[in-house]
A and B are shown apart, each in its own frame.
Chain A
Amino acid sequence: MYVAVKGGERAIDNAHDWLAEERRGDPSVAELSVAQIREQLALAVNRVMAEGSLQDADLAALAIKQARGDLIEAIFLIRAYRTTLPRFGATEAVDTGAMACDRRISATFKDLPGGQVLGPTFDYTHRLIDFALAAEGTPPEQPGPEAPEGAEQPMPRVMEFLNREGLIETPEPGEETPRDVTREPLELPADRALRLQVLSRADEGFLLSLAYSTQRGYARNHPFVGELRIGTVPLEMEVPELGFSVEIGEIALTECETVNQFTGSKSEPPQFTRGYGLVFGQSERKAISMALVDRALRWEELGEDDQGAPAQDTEFVLYHADNIQATGFLEHIKLPHYVDFQSELELVRKLRRESATRPAREAEECA
């Protein structure tokens, strides 16, 4: 006698209960608060906001807590929540040139108006585990409240210096409102605005590896970090009832502009070209990666050769950059597939039966 297994429903409920218990961990250890995550795991929060395409630090911190620190899972929570939010309108384009910078560096000039501002960077830390941090409860040494040098002076974009000499290409500002990849299906060909949108919410690891591949020769584009700036910009929005723009808040951004080599063509004098990266929050690894990949994807409009490199392949890059799509589809192979497997099983058995009888038949035919 055989009774089919039932109880998927109860198994799911039990799994959820166990998950909640595991998420909490040892109850004798104090529970993390959302504020602690927001303040002390800020870069994780930034990544979740950037790839979740939703600027809300508290919600991102909560998602990280709920996801047990699995950032892709947290991004997924944010994306699913984002689906339910109405869209009121669009802000004015932000002016990153007027950014209140925490960090601003250029690798192409030793010094420049506004200066090089290192800001809160890991760059020159020695990567030595700081065991002092393990001693809980000791407040870190607070440096005096000293405004960073150059914070008050304007920081013009490095690209503008090159522009004055006409040494770098100047993209014409488009009149068209860019397509919105979160509200329209992604259809090819994708213009640069659409590509940049996809890259901005793309998986950091995927972009990093693609960018790295261009550096190793798969569509090398000789990038210099013309400028990397991190800081806050005000967001302005025109409210129809008022008829003018009002500031509705500010967001933190990381912007990277690369200066890339270009030899020129018959019609164009030799000129540097650009790659561009812009990401929510402090996220410079991703902003630089994005600029390199952006530049690689521009081969066609700049009249370069298609080297067949992955980073040059718009369809390949755009269709595989989203970690929520990728992780969902990858993990769906855990779901039952026994109906399909059964049909394959029948087919393989049939083919094997036939191949077992075939030699005998062929021998008969020869005889």
Chain B
Amino acid sequence: MTQDAYNFAYLDEETKRMVRRAILKALAVPGYQVPFASREMPMPYGWGTGGVQVSAAVMTPEDRFKVIDQGADDTTNAVSIRKFFERTAGVATTTRTEEASVIQTRHRIPETPLREGQILVYQVPIPEPLRFLEPRESETRKMHALQEYGLMHVKLYEDISRHGHIATAYAYPVKVEGRYVMDPSPIPKFDNPKLGRSAAIQLFGAGREQRIYALPPFSAAESLDFEDHPFDPSKADHPCALCGSEDSYLDEVITDDAGGRIFVCSDTDYCETRQARGYRGKDAA
């Protein structure tokens, strides 16, 4: 079978229409998980099938597409998904956050602030923020319906009493528009402040779990916390070794077998753009 035998962006138009309906519903009820009839995609469940279906549903031939995994455009799965859409949709791709109209991401929000008209598509492994407190979907749906989030607050409180801090470092839950508690996908909590009041449309796709949810532009997404233990979006306390940035999220890279390590921006586009503008860190070339 040739590439031409597949419809634009792989999915047939009926399926895309079904996904779009779920997206519209998700945008109408921010933070609510909309069930959708997720399809088997040519990449495994857990590898971004939800994000891929959402991207396929919103993509037009004029779009410019960017894919990041762990903030980087050149990680293997990001490369694989970008290639998939190059082959099946023939859309232009880019690594530049500013140039992209649709950005599919796994585990990060780009450092460069998003603008109106951009769509950020998250790959979501477990869409249910209450899942590890209550394994049953039938129960957690009831808890959301009744806004019964006490269990979550007890969990955060127990963390503080045991460790002195809330022991959730990524996939840190947020409350959307004062109503639904939402899992922001496994982004580091450092990224949480970028979720709320964003100018871009943020769509979350969970393929295996058959759920789509959304943050419409400029909606509120408050990280859960307590008055005496306010939310703290911490990161490694270093500047980037390549571009010198003091306020981007950093990856720790082991450089030798004697414990040597450096810290570099996880967002490769952000780091390269800064270097091109002449910013230099201590280990820059």
Contacts and interface: CB of A to CB of B under 8 A. Distances in A.
A76 interface: yes
Contact of B44 (A182, A186, A332, A340): A332
30 contacts: A4-B268, A6-B74, A9-B79, A12-B76, A76-B40, A76-B44, A185-B38, A187-B35, A315-B136, A315-B137, A328-B208, A329-B46, A330-B46, A331-B44, A332-B46, A332-B47, A335-B47, A336-B75, A339-B107, A339-B187, A339-B249, A339-B266, A340-B107, A340-B169, A342-B250, A342-B251, A343-B169, A347-B167, A350-B165, A351-B163
B49 A328 contact: yes
A186 B210 contact: yes
Contacts, number: 153
Among A2, A80, A344, which residue has the most Cβ atoms of chain B within 10 A?
A2
Interface in A1-42: 1-4, 6-9, 11-12
A346 B40 contact: no
A52 B189 CA distance: 39
A319 interface: yes
Given A86-B12, A338-B70, A324 B37 contact: no
A339 B251 contact: yes
Contacts of A84: 6-7, 10-12
Interface of A: 1-4, 6-9, 11-12, 76, 79-80, 82-84, 86, 182-189, 315, 319, 324-325, 327-332, 335-340, 342-347, 350-351, 354
Given A1-B285, A339-B108, 10 more contacts: A76-B44, A315-B138, A319-B137, A331-B46, A332-B46, A335-B77, A342-B251, A342-B266, A344-B170, A351-B163
Given A329-B45, A350-B165, A8 B79 contact: yes
A210 B274 CA distance: 56
A339 B76 contact: no
B190 interface: yes
Given A339-B251, A350-B234, A351-B163, A8 B74 contact: yes
Contacts of A337: 70, 107, 186
A354 B164 contact: yes
A82 B40 CA distance: 8
B169 A346 contact: yes
Contacts of B138: 188-189, 315
B69 interface: yes
Interface of B: 6-7, 10-12, 14-15, 35-42, 44-47, 49, 69-71, 74-80, 83, 106-108, 125, 136-138, 163-165, 167, 169-171, 186-190, 208, 210, 234-236, 241-242, 249-253, 255, 262, 264, 266, 268, 283-285
A346 B255 contact: no
Chief secondary structure at chain B's binding surface:
loop
Nearest to B71: A339
B208 A325 contact: yes
Contacts of A86: 12, 14
B41 A83 contact: yes
A315 B135 CA distance: 10
Contacts of A1: 283-285
Nearest to B38: A185
B236 A324 contact: no
A58 to B, nearest CB: 13
Contacts of A325: 45, 208
Nearest to A313: B136
Nearest to A5: B74
A11 B14 CA distance: 36
Given A339-B188, A351-B164, A188 B41 contact: no
A336 B70 contact: yes
A339 B187 CA distance: 8
Given A184-B37, A335-B77, A3 B69 contact: no
A2 B243 CA distance: 12
Nearest to B283: A2
B169 A347 contact: yes
B208 A329 contact: yes
A189 B139 CA distance: 12
A217 B133 CA distance: 29
Contacts of B42: 80
A188 B283 CA distance: 55
A344 B169 contact: yes
A120 to B, nearest CB: 32
Contacts of B190: 343
Contacts of B125: 329, 332
The 9 tightest CB contacts between A and B, nearest first, are: A328-B45, A332-B46, A328-B44, A343-B169, A329-B46, A79-B40, A185-B35, A343-B188, A80-B42
